[in-house]
Amino acid sequence: MIRFASTTVDLPDDSEAVSDYLYERGLSDGLPVIVPTVERVERMLSGTRRDPASSLGAMPPSNAPATVEKVAINAVLAGCKPEQLPVLIAAVEAVLDPAWKLDAVQPTTMALGPMVIVNGPVRGRADVNGGTGSLGPGWRGNATIGRALRLLLINLGGARPGDVDRSTQGFPGKYSFCFAENEEESPWEPLHATRGLEAAESAVTVVAVSSSTNVSDSTDDAADLLRTITGGLTNPSTANVMDPLSTPVLALNALHATILARAGFGRAQLQDYLFEHVRLPADALSARRAHLRRSAGEDLFLVDGRIPFTNDPGNILIVVTGGMGGNHSTYMQNGLYGHAISRRVDE
Amino acid sequence: MVAVLMPHPEPADAVSSPTPVAPRLTTLAGRTIGIVNNSWHCMDIVTEELRRALCADYAVAEVVEVKISAAQTLPAPELERLAGVCDAVVVGIGTCGSCSRWVLHDAMELERHKVPTVSLFTKVFEVLARAVQDLEGFPGLRLAILPHPLNPLPDDQIRAAANAAVAEIAGSLTGAGTGAR
């Protein structure tokens, strides 16, 4: 039996009663929860070899230690199964990397929230969908891993929406945003293998995004498709363009990726193409927005006389997800904080 | 009834004793005052007005401005330099969620260096500033609250808001302000 460090409260083993109890104390995303009894949290911890008392780091702004025990409690609340815990642990490690700047993501006025991309064999065990409907509902891993991460940010980090979380409008992706790469139907190497990890191992890549834009084209012609993609990404209104170091995400469905691969594009060539072509005129930004972008460094404002959506082609995250059925890909904007971080899933 | 494990931080993990702020100055006259300007357009204008008013009305000897991006904290060498040459520092401005967090971070670091500070926020972000003050165990940190929205206003209105806040800002550095809790 595990000796837990967390406070316990005697309550009915009843989802409605415990959901109400936590909701009234601001420990909630608003949805009902599974009751984190000692037995359920012990079962959750069977999904990892980590010591429940070990800490993944201090979670801002409360700076409370994100112990494996606290991660497991919030995983139970969110409806996770033990098989999903290792993915959640890796995602927590990613957002606690100082370079991810969770300190700023938590209170930001922007809509930014963490989006978890899962690669490798764990996708099957953790029931994370990367095929048809991967950005939508229907799979437990997609639904609960992102939710558990959000609950940790609120319950442990202290980022209560409207109080510390100052997001002006929020974003539906802040409830839960987790999906897998469709490695099986992707024409390219897995995303994590381009980010310093072995293709055979499992990994998460976590990036803060603030909205999603549909990129739709039923063409079979790569040049046509590139024109559509470039048009969708060339957007002067998002926070992404305020940040020369942003890590914008292009989530291509497997069919779109295949069309581009047939035309000779690998990931790196597509990154270079987008870097060269997704450019705004120098006067595209309002005075206030130009002022903010310039504050990152005057030398970063323009590249060859125009404003790129990120100043480094390597920062453009290209992930293949969704089925082969159709014409729809997605652009998701990053900006200022939550730049992409990848972490191995320790199974 | 069952024992339900709580998902929140444990009381033992909370900050146990508050961090004291630096002693306030007895006067601003003849002193060197720093201003950390995080590059919001409104903070450019607030800085101009503060520089003028502190020198003209409070006999401040010198104002040292450090300009940084709204998306960053003070680089460590700049923080050390300010702490070395300034008798007190004004840090601003928190007028978004993340930049408010950075303003608080820089003010707390300067206070840890024994430099009295006042942090500027627009009204909407006061609740965030107070919450982070509590979480970080810095109840004595001095805040000066300006109207919100401020950044979109015409320059003359930003100037007027800055001038209306000068007495509070100056008072917070000498202990006369009302920004303490």
Minimum distance, in Å, between the CA of residue B131 and any CA atom of chain A: 7
Q: What is the pLDDT of residues B39-79, one digit of tens each?
A: 999 999 999 999 999 999 999 999 999 999 988 899 999 99
Q: How far is B12 from chain A (nearest CA, A)?
A: 9
Residue A15 lies in a domain: no
Task: Please give the class, per CATH, of domain B27-174.
Answer: alpha beta
Size of interface A-B (CB pairs under 8 A): 147
Q: Rounded CA gap, A132 and A113, in Å?
A: 23
Paired residues of A306 in beta bridges: A303
Chain A contacts of B10, Cβ < 8 Å?
Answer: 5-7, 64
A186 within some domain: yes
Say if A321 falls within a structural domain.
yes
Write out chain B in H/E/C secondary structure.
CEEEECCCCCHHHCCCCCCCCCCCCCCCCCCEEEEEECCCHHHHHHHHHHHHHHHHHHCCCEEEEEECCCCCCCCHHHHHHHHHHCCEEEEEEECCHHHHHHHHHHHHHHHHCCCCEEEEEEHHHHHHHHHHHHHHCCCCCCEEEECCCCCCCCHHHHHHHHHHHHHHHHHHHHCCCCCCC
Q: Where are the domains of chain B?
A: 27-174
**Minimum-distance CB partner of B131 among A22, A163, A288:** A163
Nearest C-alpha in B relative to A294:
B69
Q: Which residues span the domain enclosing A175?
A: 101-138+149-344
pLDDT of residue B176: 65
For residue B14, pLDDT beyond 90: no
Assess whether pLDDT exceeds 70 at residue A289: yes
- Mean pLDDT, residues A284-299 taken together: 88
User: Given B2, B9, B152, which is nearest A13 (Cβ)?
Assistant: B2
pLDDT at A347 over 90: no
Q: What is the pLDDT of residues B22-36, one digit of tens each?
A: 999 999 999 999 999
Taking only the tens place, the pLDDT of each residue in A109-156 is 999 999 999 999 999 999 999 999 999 999 999 999 999 999 999 999
What does the radius of gyration of chain B's CA atoms come to, in whole angstroms?
17
| Chain B residues in contact with A163 (beta carbon < 8 A) | 127-128, 131
Q: Which residue of A has its CA nearest to B130?
A: A164
Q: What is the largest CA-CA distance in chain B?
A: 69
Is A31 part of a structural domain of the chain?
no
pLDDT tens profile A61-96:
999 999 999 999 999 999 999 999 999 999 999 999
Q: How many domains does chain A have?
A: 1
Would residue A30 count as lying in a domain? Answer: no
Is residue B181 predicted with pLDDT exceeding 80? no
